[in-house]
């Protein structure tokens, strides 16, 4: 599938840069676009929902699977590096958001304020996302 076909299935898609778009996530009620779409030169399409939906949820909502985000495989592609091609600036932007979440919760705890279950769950999500960012930075998926 090419990126134009994917974008045609998404609401409020708008280009934010070369080969980059934001759109409303089809997996949750999205008041403002939170789904990042990026087309790579090798035909792969990257998705990330800043609202927290997993890529499988996003794709299922529009009748696609993860394999639809990749061009057909041939022998040449099998020998290419598996290192991540997500720009460091994108990883750092996502990390900055999660660091702010950790800082806010830590500040509340430092002031001896109780944190509710929702805040504690969001802290856990932030830690998980930071660990995932380390994996991306190290070339893992």
Would you place residue 79 in the very low, low, confident or very high pLDDT band (cuts 50, 70, 90)?
very low
| Structural domain containing residue 103 | 88-137
Percent helix, strand and coil across the chain, each rounded to 5? Answer: 45, 15, 40
Instruction: Clarify whether residues 95 and 69 are in a common domain.
Output: no
- The answer to which of 13-17, 33-37, 60-64, 74-78 has the lowest mean pLDDT is 74-78
Nearest Cα residue to 139 out of 99, 75, 91: 91
Would you place residue 106 in the very low, low, confident or very high pLDDT band (cuts 50, 70, 90)?
very high
Instruction: Clarify whether residues 9 and 60 are in a common domain.
Output: yes
**How many domains is the chain built from?**
2
């Amino acid at each position: 599938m090419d990126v134009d076909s994917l974008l045609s299935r998404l609401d409020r898609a708008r280009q934010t840069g070369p080969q980059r778009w934001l759109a409303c996530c089809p997996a949750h009620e999205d008041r403002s676009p939170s789904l990042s779409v990026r087309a790579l030169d090798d035909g792969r399409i990257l998705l990330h929902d800043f609202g927290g939906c997993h890529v499988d949820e996003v794709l299922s909502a529009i009748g696609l699977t993860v394999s639809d985000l990749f061009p057909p495989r041939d022998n040449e592609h099998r020998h290419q590096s598996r290192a991540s091609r997500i720009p460091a600036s994108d990883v750092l932007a996502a990390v900055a958001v999660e660091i702010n979440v950790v800082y806010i919760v830590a500040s509340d705890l430092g002031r001896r304020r109780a944190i509710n279950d929702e805040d504690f769950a969001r802290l856990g999500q932030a830690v998980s996302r930071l660990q995932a960012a380390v994996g991306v930075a190290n070339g893992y998926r």
